[in-house]
Structure 1
Amino acid sequence: MASVKVDHAINHSSPATNDLKGDAHDQGWKTKLTVPPKDTRVKTSDVTNTKGNEFEDFCLKRDLLMGIFEKGWESPSPIQEASIPIALTGRDILARAKNGTGKTGAYAIPILERIDNTKDEVQAMCIVPTRELALQTSQILIELSKHIGAKIMVTTGGTNLKDDIMRLYEPVHAIVATPGRILDLMNKNLVKIGKCGILVLDEADKLLSQDFKGMLDSIISHLPNDRQILLYSATFPLSVEQFMRKYLQSPYEINLMDELTLKGVTQYYAFVQEKQKVHCLNTLFSKLQINQSIIFCNSTQRVELLAKKITELGYSCFYIHARMNQQHRNRVFHDFRQGLCRNLVCSDLFTRGIDIQAVNVVINFDFPKHAETYLHRIGRSGRYGHLGIAINLITYDDRFSLHKIESELGTEIKPIPKNIDKALYVAEFHCEPDDDDDRVQKTNGAPKA
Structure 2
Amino acid sequence: MAQPATANSTNASIAGATEDLKQLALAKRDNRIQTEDVLNTKGSEFEDFFLKRELLRGIYEKGFEKPSPIQEESIPIALQGRDILARAKNGTGKTAAFCIPTLERVDSSKPEIQALLLVPTRELALQTSQVCRELGKFLNLEVMVTFGGMPLKDDIMRLYNTVHIIVATPGRILDLANKGVAKLQACKILGMDEADKLLSQEFQPVIEQLIGLLPADRQIMLFSATFPVTVKQFKDKFLRKPYIVNLMSELTLKGISQFYAFVEERQKVHCLNTLFSKLQINQSIIFCNSVNRVELLAKKITELGYSCFYIHAKMLQNHRNRVFHDFRSGRCRNLVCSDLFTRGIDVQAVNVVINFDFPKNSETYLHRVGRSGRFGHLGLAINLITYDDRMNLFRIEQELSTEIKPIPSVIEKALYCS
Give the corresponding residue for 2:207: 216
For 1:335-350, list aligned pairs within 5 A: 335-350=326-341
Partner Cα distance (1:176, 1:187) in 2:
17
Q: Which residue matches 2:16?
A: 28
* Structure 2: runs of 5 or more not aligned: 1-7
- Aligned equivalents of 2:254, 2:52: Cα separation in 1: 34
In structure 2, the partner of 1:323 is: 314
Match of 1:391 in 2: 382
Distance across 1 between alignment mates of 2:273 and 2:97: 39
- Match of 1:79, SS state, is helix
Q: CA deviation at 1:417?
A: 0.3
How much does 1:269 deviate?
Answer: 0.3
Q: Deviations over 1:294-313 (max 9, x none)?
A: 00000001000000000011
Counterpart pick for 2:78 among 81, 87, 90: 87
**Contact 1:389-1:424 within 8 A present in 2 as well:** yes
- The residue that corresponds to 2:57 in the other structure is 66
Pick aligned residue for 1:269 from 247, 260, 276: 260
Moved more, 366-375 or 211-220: 211-220
CA distance in structure 2 between the aligned counterparts of 1:301 and 1:230, rounded to whole angstroms: 37
Where in structure 1 do 4 or more consecutive aligned residues deviate above 2 Å?
25-37, 259-262
Matches within 5 A, 1:194-205: 194-205=185-196
Query: CA shift at 1:38, angstroms?
Result: 1.0
Q: CA deviation at 1:173?
A: 0.4
Deviation at 1:27, TM superposition (A): 5.7
Task: Find the counterpart in structure 2 of residue 111 from structure 1.
Answer: 102
What's the CA shift for 1:203?
Answer: 0.4
Trace 1:352-431 onto structure 2 (pairs within 5 A).
352-427=343-418
Residue 311 of structure 1: aligned partner: 302
Structure 2 distance, partners of 1:298, 1:180, is 25
Secondary structure in 2 aligned to 1:368?
Answer: coil
Q: Secondary structure at the match of 1:268?
A: strand
Are the aligned partners of 2:298 and 2:310 in contact in 1 as well (CA < 8 Å)? yes
- CA contact under 8 A between 1:199 and 1:227: conserved in structure 2? yes
- Separation of aligned partners in 1, 2:264 and 2:179: 52
1:332-383 alpha-carbon deviations (Å, 9 max, x no partner): 0000001000000000000000000000000000000010000000000000
Looking at structure 1, the residues matched to 20 and 230 of structure 2 have their Cα atoms a distance apart, in angstroms, of 48
RMSD: 1.5
Structure 1 stretches of 5 or more lacking a match? 1-18, 428-449
Among 113, 131, 139, the alignment partner of 2:122 is 131
Partner of 2:222, secondary structure, is strand
**TM norm structure 2:** 0.95
The Cα offsets for residues 133-187 of structure 1, whole Å up to 9 and x where unpaired, read as 0000000000011100011000001000011011111110000000110011011
2: CA distance between counterparts of 1:155 and 1:27? 34
How many Å apart are 1:32 and its aligned residue? 4.3
Q: 2 CA distance for matches of 1:76 and 1:50?
A: 8
Indicate conservation of the 8 Å contact 1:259/1:410, yes or no.
no
Q: Is the 8 A contact 1:260 1:410 kept in 2?
A: no
Matches within 5 A, 1:29-68: 29-33=17-21, 35=24, 38-40=28-30, 41-68=32-59
Query: Partners of 2:316 and 2:15 in 1: how far apart?
Result: 49
Contact 2:18–2:56 (Cα < 8 Å) also in 1: no
Distance 2:204 2:47 in 1: 40
Cα contact 1:351–1:376 (8 A) shared by 2 = yes
Whole-Å Cα distance in 1 between the matches of residues 21 and 36 of structure 2? 28
What is the CA–CA distance in structure 2 between the aligned matches of 1:260 and 1:209, rounded to whole Å? Answer: 24
- SS of corresponding position for 2:253: coil
Work out whether residues 39 and 68 of structure 2, in 8 Å CA contact, stay in contact via their aligned partners in 1.
Answer: yes
Q: Residue 46 of structure 1 contacts residue 262 of structure 1 at CA under 8 Å; is this kept in 2?
A: no
1:27–1:147 distance in 2 versus 1, CA, 3 Å: closer
CA distance in 2: counterparts of 1:109 and 1:213, whole angstroms: 26
Distance in 2, matches of 1:268 and 1:88, equals: 41
Between the aligned partners of 2:123 and 2:394, the Cα distance in structure 1 is 32
CA contact (8 A) 1:260 1:409 kept: no
What is the count of residue pairs matched by the alignment?
A: 406
**Percent identity of paired positions between Structure 1 and Structure 2:** 70
Partner of 2:287: 296
Provide the C-alpha distance between the structure 2 equivalents of 1:209 and 1:270, rounded to a whole number of angstroms: 33
CA–CA distance in 1 between the matches of 2:356 and 2:248?
27
Q: Indicate conservation of the 8 Å contact 2:351/2:416, yes or no.
A: yes
For 2:99 and 2:19, how far apart are their aligned partners in 1? 24
Once residues 213 and 243 of structure 1 are traced to their aligned partners in structure 2, the CA distance between those partners, rounded to angstroms, is 9
Distance in structure 2 (CA, Å) of the matches to 1:300 and 1:74 = 39
Q: CA deviation at 1:260?
A: 5.0
Return the alpha-carbon distance in structure 2 between the equivalents of residues 68 and 95 of structure 1.
21
Structure 1-normalised TM-score? 0.89
In the TM superposition, what is the alpha-carbon distance from 1:26 to its structure 2 partner?
8.9
- Indicate conservation of the 8 Å contact 1:387/1:425, yes or no: yes
2:5: which partner in 1?
none
- Note the C-alpha offset of 1:212: 1.4
1:186-197 matches, cutoff 5 A? 186-197=177-188
